Structure 1
């Protein structure tokens, strides 16, 4: 019985450009999660703190404190 010959795989692809195809959900899900988190941060909720400072103001204050260190 003759043995089958296996051709070695090339080390680099034949085309020089990257041909990467992503499924639609690989782009849609992270974009949807980013939009949902952005809405949670930007949109004021029903319950406010006693000081009345919005979540956006708190976020900006924390970012400013981190950047000025």
Structure 2
């Protein structure tokens, strides 16, 4: 006859799941969201950079090859 095992419950039987996160698990995404929001709001004054048109053509060709 198999022996019964007794387990101790460390959590109260409330029917829910309790999750405890470290402080940085909440703070880092909040800081990243705020930084991206500031970049988005402040980009109204941005100007296009004058680059070599060859780079643009290269990127267009890469995108065309990827969409085939």
TM-score w.r.t. structure 2 length? Answer: 0.45
Higher RCO (CA < 8 A, seq sep 6+):
1
TM-score w.r.t. structure 1 length? Answer: 0.45
Structure of higher CA gyration radius: 2
